[in-house]
Amino acid sequence: MKMGIFSLMTGIPGPSGFGSASTAEQVTDGIDASNLTAIVTGGASGIGLETARTLALRNAHVIIAARNLEAANEAKKSILEDNQTARIDVLKLDLCSMKSVRAFADSFKALNLPLNILINNAGIMFCPYQLSEDGIEVQFATNHIGHFLLTNLLLEKMKDTARVAGIEGRIVNLSSIAHMHTYGEGIRFEKINDQNSYSDKMAYGQSKLANILHANELSRRLQEEGANITVNSVHPGLIMTNLFRYSGFLMKILKVCTCLLWKNVPQGAATTCYVALHPKLKGVTGKYFLDCNEWEPSKFAKDEVLAKQLWDFSNKLVNSPRDA
């Protein structure tokens, strides 16, 4: 169901009972996640940290997956200071590197833990043109390909956990309303690495569109095989975090001009936590959420053919030699 700009600005709750003013703690109030294990990528700062903190507050066992281990351990320390019984582990993950993603998956599996929830939260935004160590445009590599590979590597663990525990698994991809501002083709399969026509804003939008398409296609595949796992994507809202480190003066001006639309970090983590934990969403899959309510994404995001193309393209990338 669509919500209007008035709802976004005022925080008036939508059909779910929550809205843009709701916080992560509010949307998970009363939920006991003590039998759940969750991975949060990018859980060392910003809304990832707030997501990890809230899940731990609801008694979930949380694995913070982060590139910067020092920051991740500081995050763990800060969570434990407020919640001494929190179950928090830290593992290194650099989503820009397929080698690192594979190493993380191996390290997690070695812990012999179940996996109920995977929150693909980490990302970069509006950065200058560069290639990852695997030779892929860095926003597409980090925001989409890294999470695509991570999800694939952990999927059997999630299926096994759901089967043995009888508890629905949930995968949450953090996208953005920026998915509507992408290149004319939606996903430029033939020009992913084209520097001459590179736009930092549209490349970001392309990667966020990919997050939704990935969630939708994975949801379709899991439904087809009868797996007890849901996959949804969310837009957390406009939050001034360190994602904006590349955006400079322009975005600071934008924040002043659109101040009523911006959220604080606890509000920014609300939709993620709602989709990951709330019992109302049992069995709900292949949807896009904003402000804890279902929202209709762009035409590209609903394109099933494009989603299948992206799946095949991504599979080829993660299974090809580095110079492919």
Going from the N-terminus, what domains does the chain have, and what CATH number goes with each?
5-312 (3.40.50.720)
**What strand order describes the sheet that includes 169-174?**
87-92, 61-66, 37-41, 117-120, 169-174, 229-235, 288-290, 293-294
d(CA 272, CA 265): 12
The mean predicted confidence, pLDDT, of the chain is 92
63 pLDDT exceeds 80? yes
| pLDDT of 242 strictly over 50 | no
Identity (one letter) of the amino acid at 228?
A: N
Q: What is the pTM of this model?
A: 0.92
Residue 282's SS3 state is coil
Q: What is the pLDDT of residue 4?
A: 52
Alpha-carbon Rg for the chain, nearest whole angstrom, is: 18
pLDDT at residue 238 greater than cutoff 80: yes
β strands within 67-182, DSSP E: 87-92, 117-120, 169-174
For residue range 295-312, what is the model confidence (pLDDT) as tens digits?
A: 999 999 999 999 999 999
Asked about 198 being catalytic, the answer comes back as yes
| pLDDT > 90 fraction of the chain, expressed in percent and rounded | 87
Rounded mean pLDDT of 260-283? 92
Res. 282 pLDDT band, cuts 50 70 90 = very high
Question: What tokens were used for 200?
Answer: 């930092």
The answer to whether the beta carbons of residues 21 and 9 sit under 8 Å apart is no
Q: Is 315 left (phi over 0), alpha (psi -120 to 50) or beta?
A: alpha
Q: What is the pLDDT of residues 161-203, one digit of tens each?
A: 999 999 999 999 999 999 999 999 999 999 999 999 999 999 9
Q: Which two tokens stand for residue 299?
A: 């035409």
* CA angle at 34 for the pair 33 and 35, rounded to the nearest 5°: 90
pLDDT digits (tens, 9 = 90+) for 31-44: 999 999 999 999 99
The answer to whether residue 259 scores a pLDDT higher than 70 is no
Catalytic residue among 129, 198, 204, 274: 198
Least confident of 119-123, 248-252, 284-288: 248-252
Q: Please tell me which of 1-15, 45-59, 241-255 the model is most confident about, judged by mean pLDDT.
A: 45-59
Do the Cβ atoms of 94 and 67 come closer than 8 Å?
yes
Model confidence at 136: pLDDT above 90: yes
Question: 154 near 105, Cβ under 8 Å?
Answer: yes
At 33, the amino acid letter reads A
